[in-house]
Amino acid sequence: MSILNADKKILVTGAAGFIGYYLSERLLDMGCEVVGIDNLNDYYDVSLKHARLNLLKPYSKFKFHKINLANKPAIDKLFADEKFDIVVNLAAQAGVRYSITNPEAYINSNIVGFFNILEACLHNPVEHLVYASSSSVYGTNKKVPFSTDDKVDNPVSLYAATKKSNELMAHVYSKLYKIPSTGLRFFTVYGPMGRPDMAYFSFTNKMVKGEKIQIFNYGDMKRDFTYIDDIVTGVINVMGKVPKETEDGAPYKVYNIGNNKPENLLYFVETLEMCLMREGIIDRPAEKELVPMQPGDVYQTYADVDDLIRDFGFKPDTSLEEGLSRFAKWYREFYIDKDGDKYENSKG
């Protein structure tokens, strides 16, 4: 039986972010009380973060606080004041390539910030802590699909290392203090209102300007693209199920949430171009430059979701064409037509 119902008060960190916004909206539609926090940093266009928050503002059961996870006194006060039932930690410094040039941001947000969340859960007990990990923890693993039973000791970016660290830290707190915690390894999340640093979004921005796009590893890459609605459904399912204790006594679990269907990068680009042309956003395919693999990248991601199917009877299944079509429609509305009242005052 799910512990998630309309009586719950839920903290969503990173509520102005891509997944955080969609999760908050779904929870509010279910009748839950949602407290969102975000530091609204400028890693990407802040106006997009404000646009997401503006869509949440009409909900009477939504509250937002601008707080940095690394600010321990602010986090401690928030937990003491609000008494959360469930915490979903999605706030993190995202991006693999950015971690190579700005490593300190990842330590502050992903390590120090997550430690502050764990400590707050310890001193203000919660029913369940759910937190974002990443498919990047699989690093250079050759065996596919990637299983949560695989060893993940070979990260190829600091971002991946911080996400693996989150899993280890959560396990310690689960074992020592019986804090029920579940980590979610997300696989290449995409969709409307997504992150502009993600390939599908940055490719689109360049195509609109008529600029050349770079295809890494000469196009020989595969990604398990997972549509945002499927991600949120997975998170909602997991939130309601407290993990059983493992053999070492920790109420702890990790799941993959991915489409279980890796797509070739060139096919992905062709599908994106088709969707953008169908919406009248571009009138011809982009000029492409095939370039070597970038530091921190991996050749393939591919999620084993057997645990998700077994425990929840659910697996992501939105096709790439359907997901990119929805993204293209949104992109036209938000950036080209600029005619949606719901985004009013979103420029922050």
Positions marked catalytic? 159
> Strand 222-223 relative to strand 263-264: parallel, antiparallel, unpaired?
antiparallel
Task: Count CA atoms closer than 13 A to 255's CA, side-chain side.
Answer: 30
Q: Can you tell me whether residue 171 is helix, strand or coil?
A: helix
CA angle centred on 318, ends 316 and 322, rounded to 5°: 165
Q: Which secondary-structure segment (H or E) carries 66?
A: strand 62-66
Determine the Cα–Cα distance for residues 299 and 246; give it in Å rounded to an integer: 32
Chain position carrying tokens 């759910």: 130
Q: Alpha-carbon dihedral of residues 328, 94, 61, 181, nearest 10 degrees?
A: 120
Q: Which of the 8 DSSP states describes residue 52?
A: H
* Strand residue runs (E) in 101-178: 128-134
CA angle centred on 18, ends 334 and 342, rounded to 5°: 35
For the chain, what is the largest distance between any 2 Cα atoms, rounded to a whole number of angstroms? 59
φ, ψ for residue 29, nearest 5 deg: -65, -25
* Strand residue runs (E) in 219-344: 222-223, 226-227, 252-257, 263-264, 288-290
Bond preceding residue 155 cis, omega within 30 of 0: no
Determine the Cα–Cα distance for residues 107 and 93; give it in Å rounded to an integer: 9
